[in-house]
């Protein structure tokens, strides 16, 4: 079975079209705190929104101004210009930029033909005994709304079955990540990001089959032997494999990451509790480490980064932060010193969604690689 589709990271409407052709709904999702399990349990295709290859977000900028994060603006651009053909949008208040994509999309929809299903769920910024019940109630609202939209009843059994599917995909992606621990891994960082991004282009069953095919063939792939240094990449939402390619072309092989479209988007398995399946989903999504939007998880995120550097034998960390992305913009206050204490070199770079500064990144990545590369 060919698994090449895993490496097609351009945004594709193919799956959503096919899904909708069966009379079913496909909804856009922003961002990490909207549980895909609930969508699959309602027989709705969740399409995590991204903006790969968006080079002109001028229409969205009219709505969100030049002071907004270009990733969020570009998503709104794709929503407005029809790049995505979906039945609606479900947004959690991941950050204020995500919230404003929701606000503007809702406003535009209501002033137009009001044909889209647009919903927001509140996701707490702390994970504890107070916040989980609140989030559970928000998720129940989502369930109620999806049941009304589709006419499909969402039962605990369906949620558990969906969680099992998502867990299977998570486990398979984690197996691919394991391959990157090797001295000469068989997958580059560029391809790894393509592989995780492609999850947004297809239904989960298809994704699982392709991942299995890839893993079965992994031993036949040529190991990468020409890198000069091993890199861990962290920071703002990155949905453009070309960005990693620039770093890898300079000899910095990206072997680990803390990216919401990468490792962090898959994470550990969701363990459902039969007594209250929805609470276990709420707890999982608040507990998992994906984004520094969670006010009480910064240290945990830093621990994860340091552990990953060790586990994947990375020689240094590249921290890319999107301009106007405040969630990731402040990590250095505490992280920089911690990495220093651990003897882990750090390169901090700013970027925009549009790959406007590829030349500068190339020069800085090359200098960083030269600084951290080790003699064998």
Stretch that binds other proteins, among 77-85, 181-189, 245-253, 327-335 (CB under 8 A): 327-335
Q: How far apart are alpha carbons 95 and 62 in whole angstroms?
A: 20
CB 249 within 8 A of CB 20: no
CB of 247 to other proteins, least distance (A): 20
Stretch that binds other proteins, among 9-17, 101-109, 155-163, 246-254 (CB under 8 A): 101-109
Strand segments, DSSP code E, in the chain are 26-30, 45-48, 88-92, 117-121, 229-235, 252-258, 316-322, 346-351
CB of 101 to other proteins, least distance (A): 8
Binding mask of the shown chain, residues 37 to 76, with x at each position contacting other proteins by CB under 8 A: -------------------------xxxx-xxx-------
Asked if 120 interacts with other proteins (CB under 8 A), we say yes
Q: Which of 74, 104, 196, 308 binds other proteins (CB under 8 A)?
A: 104
Name every residue whose Cβ is closer than 8 Å to that of residue 67 and which is 6 or more positions away in sequence. Answer: 324
3-state secondary structure labels for all residues of 207-255: HHHHHHHHHHHHHHCCCCCCCCEEEEEEECCCCCHHHHHHHHCCCEEEE
Asked if 134 interacts with other proteins (CB under 8 A), we say yes
Asked if 87 interacts with other proteins (CB under 8 A), we say no
Asked if 155 interacts with other proteins (CB under 8 A), we say no
Asked if 360 interacts with other proteins (CB under 8 A), we say no
CB of 49 to other proteins, least distance (A): 16
CB of 74 to other proteins, least distance (A): 13
Name every residue whose Cβ is closer than 8 Å to that of residue 23 and which is 6 or more positions away in sequence. Answer: none
Beta bridge partners of 92: 121
CB 191 within 8 A of CB 173: no
Q: Which residues contribute to the site for other proteins (CB under 8 A)?
A: 62-65, 67-69, 93, 95-97, 99-100, 103-104, 107, 120, 122, 124-126, 130-131, 134, 137, 292-293, 295-296, 298-299, 321, 323-327, 329-334, 336, 350
């Amino acid at each position: 079975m060919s698994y090449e589709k895993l490496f097609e990271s351009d945004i594709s409407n193919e799956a959503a079209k096919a899904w909708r052709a069966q009379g079913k709904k496909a909804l856009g999702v922003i961002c990490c705190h909207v549980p895909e399990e609930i969508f699959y349990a309602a027989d709705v295709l969740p399409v995590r929104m991204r903006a790969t290859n968006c080079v002109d977000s001028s229409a969205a900028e009219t709505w969100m101004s030049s002071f907004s994060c270009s990733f969020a603006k570009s998503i709104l651009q794709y929503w407005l210009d029809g790049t995505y053909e979906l039945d609606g949008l479900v947004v959690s208040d991941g950050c204020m930029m995500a919230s404003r994509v929701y606000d503007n999309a809702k406003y535009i929809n209501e002033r137009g033909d009001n044909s889209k299903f647009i919903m927001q769920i509140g996701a707490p910024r702390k994970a504890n005994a107070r916040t989980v019940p609140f989030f559970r109630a928000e998720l129940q609202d989502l369930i109620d709304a999806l049941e009304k939209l589709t006419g499909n009843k969402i039962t605990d059994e369906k949620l558990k079955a969906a969680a099992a599917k998502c867990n299977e995909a998570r486990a398979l992606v984690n197996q691919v990540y394991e391959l990157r621990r090797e001295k000469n891994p068989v997958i580059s960082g560029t391809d790894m990001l393509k592989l995780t991004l492609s999850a947004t282009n297809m239904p989960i069953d298809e994704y699982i089959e392709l991942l299995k095919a890839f893993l079965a063939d992994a031993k036949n792939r040529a190991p990468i032997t020409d890198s000069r240094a091993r890199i861990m990449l962290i920071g703002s939402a990155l949905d453009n494999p070309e960005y990693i390619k620039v770093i890898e072309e300079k000899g910095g092989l990206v072997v680990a990451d803390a990216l919401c479209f990468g490792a962090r988007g898959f994470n550990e398995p969701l363990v459902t509790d039969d007594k209250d399946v929805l609470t276990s989903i709420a707890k999982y999504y608040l507990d998992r480490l994906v984004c520094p939007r969670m006010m009480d998880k910064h240290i945990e995120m830093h621990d994860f980064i340091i552990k990953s550097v060790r586990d994947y034998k990375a020689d240094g960390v590249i921290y890319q932060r999107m301009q106007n992305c405040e969630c990731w913009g402040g990590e250095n206050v505490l992280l920089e010193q911690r990495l220093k204490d651990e003897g882990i070199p750090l390169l901090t770079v700013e970027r925009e969604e549009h790959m406007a500064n590829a030349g500068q990144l190339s020069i800085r990545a090359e200098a960083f690689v030269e600084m951290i590369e080790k003699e064998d």
